[in-house]
């Protein structure tokens, strides 16, 4: 039995992903509290669980080998999690009675609030890796793990690999300030559907919505414009934390109504390209909040009709630049 535990400990330590030791962790697994188990056995169980939880959630997970010295200095689990700067932390308990080892895991938010707990059992040493995988799956997706010995004995670790990072579908609003040489514009307000799809490190963005002038320009030389638009773009995160900055860009085709003093309103198709820098404040939460600054450049110009001295109208185009502040919520 001791030889088996030694082999299990070695296997757990060798399977620790190399990136996990260097990247900033999002979740911390604290050292396992064991009953009738040695420190090395507890470390092996903790590493197996941390690896399985990382596969389930596709985030960086600090193992008990990483968190043990921090917990020793911090004295409490919450203080250790705060020092590590993680978004959530997990406490594990393992109790061995004969050949059966009961495992209990509790998931906490970064402020110490319990999120979910689950338990399972390993029917012998050969089932320990499978039990850790089942418990990680249950804790990651807030589901009950199997408890019966026959269910534990028959089950096997999931072989499908990491779960897809969840998409964020929601709304985004913005205030937009167009500028162009020799012209004055009313600012715009927009509201749109916004979808961000992709892995944790980057995203593709698709949206559609409308914009209206935020102020009335009647009787002035101010140009008003607005209409409906679509957006297609992508972005990449610059850090691995739960609060993460990102850079992105894209294109926005539009059907625009432009009201110009003295010449009335015109409607037509236009298009902009944009670059943006933003921050996602709740990257690993189901509800993601983000804000961004965007610069957009018209690549299909707006019509500019001018009356000549002989009374005829000539038409040209101008290409404004837009600066906008955008705030979104996806879930």
| Residue ranges in the chain assigned as alpha helix (H) | 2-14, 39-57, 64-74, 77-84, 128-140, 149-154
pLDDT tens per residue across all 331 residues of the chain: 444 444 445 444 444 443 344 457 889 999 999 999 999 899 999 999 999 999 988 889 999 999 999 999 988 999 999 999 998 999 999 999 888 899 999 999 989 999 899 999 998 777 889 999 999 988 888 766 554 434 434 444 444 445 677 899 999 999 999 999 989 999 999 999 999 999 889 999 999 999 999 876 555 789 999 999 999 999 999 988 788 999 999 999 999 999 987 777 889 999 999 999 999 998 878 889 999 999 999 999 998 765 555 555 556 789 999 999 999 999 8
pLDDT at 316: 78
| Strand boundaries in 180-312, DSSP class E | 184-185, 188-197, 202-213, 222-237, 244-260, 264-280, 288-300, 302-307
- In degrees, rounded to 5, the angle at the alpha carbon of residue 288 between the alpha carbons of residues 286 and 290 is 175
Q: How many residues comprise the chain? A: 331
Q: Give the separation between CA 104 and CA 250, rounded to whole angstroms.
A: 46
Record the pTM: 0.57
The number of angstroms, rounded, from the C-alpha of 86 to the middle of its chain's C-alpha atoms is 14
- In degrees, rounded to 5, the angle at the alpha carbon of residue 97 between the alpha carbons of residues 95 and 99 is 110
pLDDT at 241: 79
pLDDT at 218: 55
Tell me which CATH code domain 168-330 carries. 2.40.160.20
What tokens does 308 get? 């000549």
pLDDT at 284: 79
Categorise residue 262: left if φ over 0, alpha if ψ from -120 to 50, beta otherwise.
left
Q: Give the separation between CA 134 and CA 67, rounded to whole angstroms.
A: 22
Beta bridge mates, 274 = 250, 296
Q: What is the DSSP string of 300-319?
A: EPEEEEEE-TTS-EEEEEE-
Tell me which CATH code domain 2-154 carries. 3.40.50
Domain extents in the chain? 2-154, 168-330
Q: Give the separation between CA 330 and CA 11, rounded to whole angstroms.
A: 40
Alpha-carbon dihedral sign for residues 4, 10, 14, 19: positive
What tokens does 94 get? 């393992």
CB 62 within 8 A of CB 20: yes
pLDDT at 242: 81
Burial group, residue 110, by CB count within 10 angstroms (0-12, 13-18, 19+): middle
């Amino acid at each position: 039995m001791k030889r088996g535990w030694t082999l299990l400990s070695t296997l757990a330590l060798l399977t620790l992903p190399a990136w996990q030791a260097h990247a900033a962790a999002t979740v911390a697994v604290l050292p396992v509290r064991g009953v009738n188990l040695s420190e090395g056995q507890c470390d092996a169980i903790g590493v197996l669980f941390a690896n399985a939880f990382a596969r389930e959630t596709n985030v960086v997970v600090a193992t008990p080998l990483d968190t043990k010295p921090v917990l020793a200095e911090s004295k409490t689990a919450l203080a250790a999690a705060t020092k590590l700067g993680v978004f959530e932390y997990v406490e594990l308990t393992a109790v061995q009675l004969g050949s059966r080892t009961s495992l209990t895991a509790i998931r906490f938010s970064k402020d110490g609030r319990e999120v979910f707990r689950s338990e399972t059992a390993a029917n012998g040493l050969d089932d320990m890796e499978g039990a850790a995988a089942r418990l990680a799956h249950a804790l990651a997706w807030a589901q009950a793990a199997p408890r019966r010995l026959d269910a534990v004995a028959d089950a096997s670790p999931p072989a499908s690999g990491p779960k897809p990072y969840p998409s964020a579908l929601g709304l985004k609003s913005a205030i937009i300030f167009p500028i162009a040489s020799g012209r004055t514009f009313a600012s715009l307000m927009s509201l749109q559907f916004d979808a961000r799809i992709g892995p944790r490190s980057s995203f593709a963005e698709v949206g559609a919505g409308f914009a209206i002038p935020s102020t009335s320009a009647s009787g002035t030389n101010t140009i008003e414009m607005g209409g409906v638009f679509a957006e297609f773009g992508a972005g990449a995160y610059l850090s691995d934390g739960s609060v993460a900055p990102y850079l992105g860009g894209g294109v926005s085709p539009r059907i625009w109504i432009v009201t110009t003093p003295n010449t009335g309103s015109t409607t037509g198709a236009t298009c902009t390209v944009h670059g943006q820098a933003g921050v996602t404040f709740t990257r690993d939460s189901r509800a993601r909040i983000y804000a961004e600054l965007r610069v957009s450049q018209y690549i299909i110009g707006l019509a500019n009709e001018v009356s000549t001295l002989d009374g005829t109208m000539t038409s040209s185009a101008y290409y404004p630049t837009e600066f906008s502040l955008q705030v979104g919520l996806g879930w």
